[in-house]
Structure 1
Amino acid sequence: MRTLAAGALPDPVTLGDDLLVHGDNADVLPRLPAGAFDLIYLDPPFNTGRPQTRATMRVKADPEGSRTGFGGRRYTTEEVMRRGFADTFDDYLAFLGPRLERCRDLLAGHGTLYLHLDPRESHYAKVLLDQIFGRECFLNEIVWAYDFGARTRRRWPAKHDTILVYVRDPDRYWFDSEEVDREPYMAPGLQTPERAARGKLPTDVWWHTIVGTTSRERTGYPTQKPEGVLRRIVTASSRPGGWCLDPFCGSGTLGAVAAGLDRRFVLVDEAAEAVEIAGRRLGAPETTKAAS
């Protein structure tokens, strides 16, 4: 894998390269080859209207500490690092639209696009994708439900994201249902023993926890997504050796999953912090800066 500044991208980009690109994807996407990608996964800022932050804390034993742990031991915590980004847009669809249009051009004829949002904007984005791809190219609306986060007693607690799935060509897209991980049947007694043992193909509602505070995957990036969700996407909608693209790569989850599944990848992010985290996660051996 190579880590590049946007201005150092080769022209043309070699098909099948593993790349981590530091730059605005609005500048990078036009320089990637059209029709080259099996899969494009976008996890853009959600336009929550508030900063997205995550703090890294250090715990120290302290007999005079203000916190009490196991066995009555006292300790203190201190913040050692805080990561975050602004998440407010005056015109969110004007931000997404040109990027989604270029992503459609970058998909191979058998390719699939996954747009990961939450219920604040997903319905507006679906109308936009219908216009860009055509309603006949809509494949699924996936609901990713999780079990952790803020609680409220004033409404039903919001515990899901929405992933919109569109294909370049509804007659020839790639979907490998045989390789996708299986789930237990809710009523296994109604199935044959063989079917119950194998499990069922996941539906369009996915139950999967977020990246936990003690997870081996955890990088500290504020909006990191779990590998299990991306693994299902990559397995279903890309071929072994195929090229996968993430224009808002954050901590590099798509790249980590793709590398483990014998896929190639291109990751892009304009935040130096995200590129540093993703590069470290993926073991980036080489960095190329833009020519002055």
Structure 2
Amino acid sequence: MTWPPTGDLVIHGDNLAAAATLPDGAFTLVYLDPPFNTGRSQTRQSTTSVRSASGTTAGTVVGFQGQRYERIRGDLMSYDDEFEDYWSFLEPRLAEAWRLLADDGTLYLHLDYREAHYAKVLLDALFGRECFLNEIIWAYDYGGKSKRRWPTKHDTILVYVKDPKGYFFDSQAVDREPYMAPGLVTPEKAARGKLPTDVWWHTIVSPTGREKTGYPTQKPEGVLRRIVQASSREGDWVLDLFAGSGTTGAVAASLGRRFVLVDTSPDAVAVIRRRLAAAGVPARFSETAP
């Protein structure tokens, strides 16, 4: 394999197989937006011969915490056996994502409320609690409203770093946002805006807006822009293993980053091709990694 590739890359194929061909530590930022498991079922995928976060190769990913991880994993499965199929699908992909992170790299795992609590416990055990950086709440207010409970209008983005003492994070590079109570700060501060917290109020992709591609799980550029700005530098490589509509690539290119996108769906790859072409991004499309 030749790394880095000569240009930005879009791989059409299984993301686990594609990830296995990419070199260790190649990416400063990995963003994962996997299926949310809303139907509570997922085809089981084998974890045979997947290299774990600790560098071992085994049928079961062991992780930094060894048997403690296996006990926590087993405990969680014991009171939600349907989750096991979902985690068996996601677990080896997270292990590969961790391997692909640079020493100063950051992993962003985008989930909804159905899986976030499971994922955080397992990621703490798999990678170490000291590597947990943030739980970001992306809140929005669009769509139907339940009258039998508080309407669920947020996603959760779990943020883990490769090295808790040496990760890259640049808060000053992030676009500022308006103060919710500008009268409580000086006019200078109000004009400059404030740095975002771990709660992000951002609309979903507008059905009539310029970003709309028609892809059903498309995420807004504003959310990815904040992630890419904070956790990568110009020229750094960004990876998205569940590329979907290609938002990560579009944002990375606009900010001067390099990217690799992977998706198994022909529809997703077609959307990405059109989107990047419209933006003038000369990415290479391939059925395999370089």
TM range (shorter): 0.7 to 0.9
1:175 corresponds to which of 169, 174, 187? 169
Q: Deviations over 1:81-115 (max 9, x none)?
A: xxxxxxx9861111111110111111111100000
**1:49 is paired with a residue of what secondary structure?**
coil
Q: Deviations over 1:250-286 (max 9, x none)?
A: 0100000000000000000001110111111111575
Distance in 1 between the 2:145 and 2:5 partners?
Answer: 46
Distance in 2 between the 1:182 and 1:20 partners?
Answer: 31
Distance in 1 between the 2:19 and 2:83 partners?
Answer: 21
Deviates more, 1:90-99 or 1:33-42: 90-99
Q: Deviations over 1:96-147 (max 9, x none)?
A: 1111011111111110000000000011111121122210010000000011
2:242 corresponds to which of 242, 248, 254? 248
Distance in 1 between the 2:260 and 2:205 partners?
Answer: 23
Asked if the contact 2:10–2:285 (Cα under 8 Å) also holds between the matched residues in 1, the reply is: no
Aligned 1:99-118 pairs, distance under 5 A:
99-118=93-112
Distance in 1 between the 2:193 and 2:98 partners?
Answer: 34
If the length of structure 2 is used for normalisation, what is the TM-score? 0.80
1:278 corresponds to which of 240, 247, 272? 272
The alpha carbon displacement at 1:172 in A equals 1.2
- State the identity %: 68
Distance in 2 between the 1:286 and 1:40 partners?
Answer: 19
Q: Which residue number corresponds to residue 18 of structure 2?
A: 28
Distance in 2 between the 1:157 and 1:30 partners?
Answer: 40
Q: Does 1:220 align with 2:214?
A: yes
Name the structure with the higher strand share: 1
The alpha carbon displacement at 1:226 in A equals 0.3
Q: Which residue number corresponds to residue 137 of structure 2?
A: 143
Question: What letter is aligned with 2:164?
Answer: P
Q: Does 1:210 align with 2:199?
A: no
Distance in 2 between the 1:186 and 1:219 partners?
Answer: 31
Distance in 2 between the 1:42 and 1:170 partners?
Answer: 20
Distance in 2 between the 1:242 and 1:198 partners?
Answer: 28
Distance in 1 between the 2:199 and 2:156 partners?
Answer: 10
Name the structure with the higher helix share: 2
Q: Which residue number corresponds to residue 232 of structure 1?
A: 226
- Residues 192, 94 of structure 1: CA spacing in aligned structure 2 closer, same or farther, 3 A cutoff? same
Distance in 2 between the 1:265 and 1:195 partners?
Answer: 35
Larger radius of gyration: 1
Asked if the contact 1:16–1:243 (Cα under 8 Å) also holds between the matched residues in 2, the reply is: no
